[in-house]
Chain A
């Protein structure tokens, strides 16, 4: 009874006057509910991709390296998902950790797996630092507002897992 009375009083006293999510206005951070950290990287085709310029479309950011076995295993599933969902506006960005890999190895990897989505080169490791990468692959599912909806560190992700998360991004659930 004491817990109920004091607990109710504390619950009311500690109400949040500003019910907006606490991550709103917070610095970008690589975790669910926060704005995805910004990056601007050169792609294999020479174009430059800036994450913030993609607001309005859901984006999957997959950080990988050619020597990473789980990355090799999950990449075909990402390619199939991209083929099926690209018409919905979904974009998959494969960010190669070039600082720990090599551009030549990344190109060979892309050719071997027949990847058609943009492959970006993180030459100086800036994106890896911004995303606090602790293991590869690391995948971030970012919604139309630039908010991270789901983070998966490690892999390989199953195709069903990838598609489920993409569906959630598209439906906004």
Chain B
């Protein structure tokens, strides 16, 4: 664990730097995949940048709105470099809405665009594990096993290492399988399902996850919900594609009656 390094008067947050590096590699991977899928990679990167900026600003504004008295008295606090004063849910929601709207405006096909994002998300998941390892977040249950690590006053399971290994395995498995999938959107759903499976598996060994009713871990329930949503989308998209294919066969059949007469 090495959450910060001090360079003179400056304290550098290493987990943040690892996340930034991960973001850079993720954007490179997304750009490469977008080009392979013959999508407008430049537009996608631009949309991600706008969505990220909108999300960041909104995260701070939503946080400040919930404490309006404090921020009205100290408006410069809006500009503070403090990740602890961000409303993550508000930021993610606004960022996603902005990305969706801009994607529509640029006429980007949703499903193929999601496919282009998948390898980047897989890379980002690896860097999140690295950030957790440095900060000591997402720590494991106490253990007496020899591969335990000393953290927060106890010998614990190295769940951050599990997280990195699982995310790397997901990335590798996605790389092997995704290009065999022909349905637009399937590569993204494959990543979503594999990553959800990794989270469900590892969350059982973590000591910091919220516990819901009957002792069920919140992280596992959320991952199950995402995997379920992925399954629903997979069925819907397959049905939509089958409908289109059937429709086009009917159209081509009616427009060329001679073919049918011959057969």
Contacts and interface: CB of A to CB of B under 8 A. Distances in A.
Nearest to A155: B11
Given A27-B154, A31-B136, A165-B84, A136 B11 contact: yes
Given A7-B197, A69-B9, A16 B152 contact: no
A17 interface: yes
Interface string A1-26: 10110111011101111110011001
Interface stretch (A42-50, A86-94, A118-126, A146-154): A146-154
Nearest to A141: B84
Contacts of A158: 74, 76-77, 79-80, 82, 85
* Interface size band for A: 35 or more
Contacts of B142: 26
A14 B207 CA distance: 12
* Interface size band for B: 35 or more
B200 A10 contact: yes
Contact of B85 (A16, A31, A68, A161): A161
B220 A153 contact: no
A154 B4 contact: yes
Given A4-B228, A11-B216, A159-B77, A153 B84 contact: no
Contacts of B201: 10
A34 interface: yes
B109 to A, nearest CB: 26
B67 interface: yes
B84 A150 contact: yes
A18 B215 CA distance: 7
Interface of B: 2-6, 9, 11, 13, 63-64, 67, 70-71, 74, 76-80, 82, 84-85, 136, 141-142, 152-154, 193-194, 196-197, 200-201, 203-204, 207-208, 211, 214-217, 220-221, 223-224, 227-228, 231
7 contacts: A4-B228, A11-B220, A18-B215, A19-B215, A22-B141, A22-B208, A134-B6
